[in-house]
Structure 1
Amino acid sequence: MEALLAVAVLFGVFFVLLFAGVPISVSLGIASFLTALVFLSFEESTYVVGQQMNVGIESFSLLAVPLFIFAGNIMNNGGIARRLVDLALVLAGRVPGALAHTNVLGNMLFGSLSGSAVAAAAAIGGTLHKRQKEEGYDPAFSTAVNIASASTGLLIPPTTAAIVYSTVAGGVSISALFMAGYVPGILMGVVVMVVAWLYARRRMAGATSPRVGLGEGLRVFLRAVPSLLLVIVVVGGIVAGVFTATEGAAAAVLYCLVLSLIYRSLSWADLKQVVTSTVVATGVVMFLISASSAMSWVMAYTGIPTAITDALLSTADSKAIILLLMVAILLVVGTFMDITPAILIFTPIFLPIATELGMHPVHFGMMLILAMCIGTMTPPVGSVLFVATGVSGVTIEQVVPRLLPYFAGLVVLLLAVTFIPALSLQLPEWLGLLG
């Protein structure tokens, strides 16, 4: 009964505030405090909620978050996107819809380096938009491709989503999560490319890129090599145990700064803007983590995760049905909540259910992150959706019908990742990271 009352107060207050336009982090904090107030005195509630908000961000691993944000912002302003687009254009080759495939590959390359879907959508989409328009691409089609593929960088490491999940899930290996993200992330890009190819083959067969000679292709590749080495340095160093995720993030910042100086593409004014945007983004993310930590404590104190686990396990006796219910809930949540708060809120709720069903925490993390990646492309709160349409000038009403085939393909991929553990676990298992 206590758990039921706590659910009603906690989520009732949270969603009322959310739909009233109150920021998510503030809604989380107020809902947590009012729920604690039902079971504790005012003094106890104030002390506990404040303490948990402070404890929630006292983590060395979380220092990687602002550092990776900083590195991503430097890349977005440091001339790296242009070189990656050139490389993606060579890799896409002479196939129907070549610029669409270039967009996908560019997002996979840039997203994996920056760890930001929004940055990838803005940088790669903005770089390619004018050329796609000049070559007669349907703007709604091009925008849909950019939206559907921008989130691949949230799976392909290094990614802050995996770091946040690792912290909330109780210290799940960041190295294992990084390696687990490669196959789902690459498959996500492949799914988008297949759907784009099917569309282009039927409606724009003549839209191919000019032939690139071997010498030119090699020159483009060599120009992009310094940027690509960032992945080897950071991810390789973390997996090999040379440094922690936080130290790897610091190395990424230093590497990006040096690279931008070499390219001479980052002025002092640009650097000031990069630092400012990093501080703002870090404040938002850290306050979210802080408020969600208080919410997690309130849920644990009132027994909400245990009650939800018992309810789901008693409602359906089939593992497959329970997993499908979880997937459906996560897809719905993703339509109105960004990836970071969704991970912070739903990991404590669904992870106990997943482990009860025999799912490895790394496998569950990939399922959760992929579901939230799909959410970034859906209205009404899809962050990538709004950024990409802003870059291209296409309205949401125009692009949503074009997004439906990609959404369907990515949902099929989500189900595959959910029910085929090897897609997430095989690579980290080969590397001996699962323990």
Structure 2
Amino acid sequence: MTANTMAIAVLLVSFFVMILLRFPIAYAVALSSIFCLTYQGIPLNTVAQQMVKGISSFSLMAVPFFITMGVLMGTGGISEKLLDLADACVGWMTGGLAMVNIVASYFFGGISGSASADTASLGSLEIPMMVDRGYDVDFATAVTIASSVEGMLVPPSHNMVIYATTAGGISIGALFLAGYLPGAVLAISLMVGSYVISLKRHYPKGEPFSVKILFKQLTTSLWALLSILIVVVGVVAGIFTATESAAIAVIYSLFVSLYIYKGVTWKGVWTCLNSCIDTLSIVLILISTSSVFGYCLTRLHVPDLAANLITGVSDNPVVIAILLNIILLVLGCIMDMAPIILISTPILLPIAQSIGIDPVQYGILLVLNCGIGLLTPPVGAVLFIGSAIAHRPIEKVVVAMVPFYCMMIIALLCVTFVPEVSLCIPKLFGYVQTGAGILASMG
């Protein structure tokens, strides 16, 4: 066994052993990197250098602003407004509250960009409401958890910023635009599953559809929805950078939460900022330690080895695409999103490009796979949040999640093999010229 192979073994074996021992992800990533560098005789000041380098990107300055915007809007009375808007849109359907749950998550995703925030904010309102209307508590919890993934696809999303920074040369505006249709495809898939279950179990409909009520709720929610326009339109039109638009959106969110909806006080703002600091510190620690891990992988030529390994299994682009999805899903089940993005992107993105997947499309696939992983045992952070809100055992919720796992996989396959789902809107705005897709690469 060569020294390079031994170093890879030290890195990966120590990492997965610590994961199995329930070490925090940041510790597992950092310690395994230190073990690897020590084995190779590389000075440990390299660790500090790579950690600083990992968080020194200008683009990453947008991350704390997006997190702050999400927390401010999420605690400023926005959740109730978006629920009312969603109810006016789809509440009249069979299983109306399940549909409302899913559509509200799509709206809320444009504000929070976080599956955990979506589940925590909307779940505390939606789950009790659905149970009171006669819905099974496990079904209500499963719908809430599954729909939270939409929030990671609908811009603005700080995970897309991290991916763009890691991949290099990818427009954040293109990624923002690329998330809308996949988010809608996922929402429609979940709505179809919910409709079938609701029909079978005779869950109730809501009030009949009313254009007047819809217009009223749209007017009330307009202030919240404008925050999304500030970010997305500002970036796409080239008026602001992602960082500048995020900073402006924070000021706007503060104004709306304090003076329009009056859902938060100045004292509450400090509480929000403390929450942001907690979240940001976790994200930055994960990014910095993952940068060291990524340095080790690159130094050991793991991307080339992984490419040879995957293409050695099959040279069929469809098979390779399915393998990439499986790898990302498995990683999503055991790791947080930021480390997955930072560690896997240099390895898997070149493989994806070799079979005709555009980097923008791959970014959406990466986020969607990791989002599904967040709902899946053994780690499944969002799964635990939803179960805690509903006061239900994890195993009961997982059983109720099975139909939604199936619908999410269908949406994932659609995004994988129909590139236009991700790329048609970025193409309209001139961000993407390529992207023939996997099936075209076979011809």
TM band (smaller chain): over 0.9
Amino acid at match of 2:6: L
Residues 234 and 240 of structure 2 are in contact (CA less than 8 Å); yes or no, is this contact kept in structure 1? Answer: yes
Moved more, 262-271 or 219-228: 262-271
**What is the rounded CA distance, in whole Å, between the counterparts of 1:198 and 1:106 in structure 2?**
19
Structure 1, 250-259 or 419-428: larger mean CA deviation: 419-428
State the alpha-carbon separation in 1 of the partners of residues 423 and 217 from structure 2: 34
The residue aligned with 1:167 is: 165
Corresponding residue of 2:82: 84
Q: Out of 209, 215, 218, which is 2:215 matched to? A: 218
1:32 alignment partner in structure 2: 33
Shift of residue 183, structure 1, vs aligned partner: 1.1
**Aligned residue in 2 for 1:178:** 176
Over residues 169-199 of structure 1, what are the superposed CA-to-partner deviations in whole Å (9 max), with x where a residue is unaligned?
Answer: 1231111111111111111111111100010
1:354–1:364 contact (8 Å) kept in structure 2: yes
**Aligned pairs for 1:67-146 within 5 A:** 67-146=65-144
Task: Give the CA deviation at 1:269.
Answer: 2.9
Unmatched tracts of structure 2, length 5 or more? 434-443
- Checking the alignment, whether the CA contact within 8 Å between 2:25 and 2:336 is kept in structure 1 is no
Cα deviations by residue, 1:308-363 (Å, 9 ceiling, x for unpaired)? 11222223221211111111121122212222222122112211211222321111
What residue number does 2:60 align with?
62
Alpha-carbon deviation of 1:213? Answer: 4.2
Determine whether 1:191 maps to 2:189: yes
Cross-structure match for 1:420: 418
| Percent of residue pairs bearing the same amino acid type | 38
Shift of 1:15: 1.2
Check conservation: 2:88, 2:210, Cα contact below 8 A.
no
Q: Structure 1 residue 434: deviation in Å?
A: 2.2
SS at match of 2:334: coil
CA distance in 2, matches of 1:255, 1:192: 32
Contact (CA 8 Å) 1:126, 1:391: kept in 2 or not? yes
2:338 alignment partner AA: T
Q: Which residue of 2 aligns with 1:390?
A: 388
Structure 2 match to 1:254: 251
Using the size of structure 2 for normalisation, the TM-score is 0.94
> Contact 1:6–1:304 (CA<8 Å) still a contact in 2?
no
Superposition map of 1:283-322 within 5 A: 283-322=281-320
Note the C-alpha offset of 1:432: 0.2
> Which residue in 2 is equivalent to 1:6?
7
CA-CA distance at 1:274 after TM superposition: 0.7
Letter matched to residue 382 of structure 1: G
Say if 2:26 and 2:286, in contact at 8 Å, map to a contact too.
yes
Structure 1 residue 21, shift from structure 2 partner: 2.3
Pairing of 1:321-340 with structure 2 (within 5 A)? 321-340=319-338
1:82-129 CA-partner distances (Å, limit 9, x unpaired): 100000100013111100100001111011211111111111121222
One-letter amino acid matched to 1:185: G
* SS of match in other structure, 1:208: coil
Distance 2:214 2:353 in 1: 48
Instruction: Sort the Cα spacing of 1:213 and 1:357 in 2 relative to 1 into closer, same or farther, 3 A.
Output: closer
CA-CA distance at 1:53 after TM superposition: 0.7
Q: What secondary structure is seen at the aligned counterpart in 2 of 1:211?
A: coil
CA distance in 2: counterparts of 1:93 and 1:245, whole angstroms: 35
Amino acid at match of 1:276: N
1:228 paired residue among 225, 228, 234:
225
Indicate conservation of the 8 Å contact 1:29/1:294, yes or no: yes
TM-score by length of 1: 0.96
Unaligned runs of 5+ in 1: none
CA contact (8 A) 1:66 1:282 kept: yes
What per-residue deviation string (whole Å, max 9, x for no partner) do you get for residues 229-264 of structure 1? Answer: 111111110111110111111111111100011222
3-state SS of 1:280 partner: helix
Bigger drift between 68-77 and 347-356 goes to 347-356
2:149 is paired with a residue whose SS is helix
Q: Distance in 2 between matches of 1:220 and 1:328?
A: 41
Tell me the distance in 1 between the aligned counterparts of 2:310 and 2:91.
49
- Are the aligned partners of 1:14 and 1:27 in contact in 2 as well (CA < 8 Å)? yes
Cα deviation, 1:134-160, whole Å, max 9, x if unaligned, reads 211111111110011011010111111
Structure 1 Cα separation of the partners of residues 78 and 352 of structure 2: 39
